Structure formats: C-alpha cells, structure tokens
Amino acid sequence: MAGPDTPPRKGGEGPGTAVITRTKPQTKRPSLYRVLLLNDDYTPMEFVVHVLERFFNKNRDQANTIMLHVHHHGVGECGVFTYEVAETKVTQVMDFARKHQHPLQCVMEKK
Ligand code: TYC
C-alpha cells in the first residue's frame, strides 16, 4: 500500500470518493455601525448643522432635521458605515468640536 512508490493519499481522493472543499460562499458582508450625535446644552445649533453637512454629506434641510431630532430626543443617527469609516467619522467630528471648544459628542454603535 503506501510505500516508497505510492505516496499516502491526503485528501480522500481515489475511486468512489470526493472531497467537498467549500460549502458556503467565501464573501462575508461587513458589520455595519451607526454614527450618532448626542445632545448637549451648549453646542450651537448652527455648528451641529455644519458638522452634518461637512462630515455626513447632508444638505441643509436634512442636517436641520437631524439636528432638531437630536435636540428634542437626545440622540440621533448621522449615518451607517463600516467599522473603519464610522471610526473615522467619530474622530473627525470629535476633533472638529474640540478645536472649536464645543462639548458635542459623537459615538458609534453596532447595528
Ligand atoms: N441643544 C443644543 C442647543 O440648544 C443644540 C444641539 C443639537 C447640540 C444637537 C448638540 O447634537 C446636538 N444649542
């Protein structure tokens, strides 16, 4: 049987046998994350609208609607992104708010 002339069969190949190498598609959809703005009593409304236009590509009306939602409900969604994009948005908003000395908070959460 397996000797110098007949290398051992590793994959189960041979008469009457088969190996199924893959049973599911190799693509996986990435996890998605919501980026949220939190309300506070000090950040000017116009600054929040500007943040939504600048970092989340909202038009003036969309930005106003989201800002007012956050103002009235305490939290609101700016967008949904893959992990690294969401992390970048949060960092950009937090850096921009700090630079302008506003206490605006931006966070991400898994969908
Ligand atoms: N509440 C703030 C004000 O009255 C406005 C505001 C809205 C602040 C949304 C933060 O994420 C925020 N000036």
CA gap 47, 63 in Å, rounded? 11
The string over 68-100, giving b where at least 16 C-beta atoms fall within 10 Å of a residue's C-beta and e elsewhere, is eebeeeeebebbebeeebbeebbeebeebbeee
Q: Cα of 8 to ligand 1 centre, how many Å?
A: 71
Distance 38 CA to ligand 1 centre (A): 8
Identify whether the C-beta of residue 82 lies closer than 8 Å to the C-beta of residue 30. yes
Per-residue pLDDT tens digits for 52-111 = 999 999 999 999 999 999 999 999 999 999 999 999 999 999 999 999 999 999 999 999
- Pocket of ligand 1, beta carbon within 6 A: 37-41, 43-45, 48, 67, 70-71, 104
The answer to whether the Cα torsion of 65, 69, 91, 51 is positive or negative is positive
Angle among Cα 35, 39, 40 to the nearest 5 degrees reads 135
Q: Is the dihedral of CA 50, 55, 53, 111 positive or negative?
A: negative
Q: What is the pLDDT of residues 31-56, one digit of tens each?
A: 999 999 999 999 999 999 999 999 99
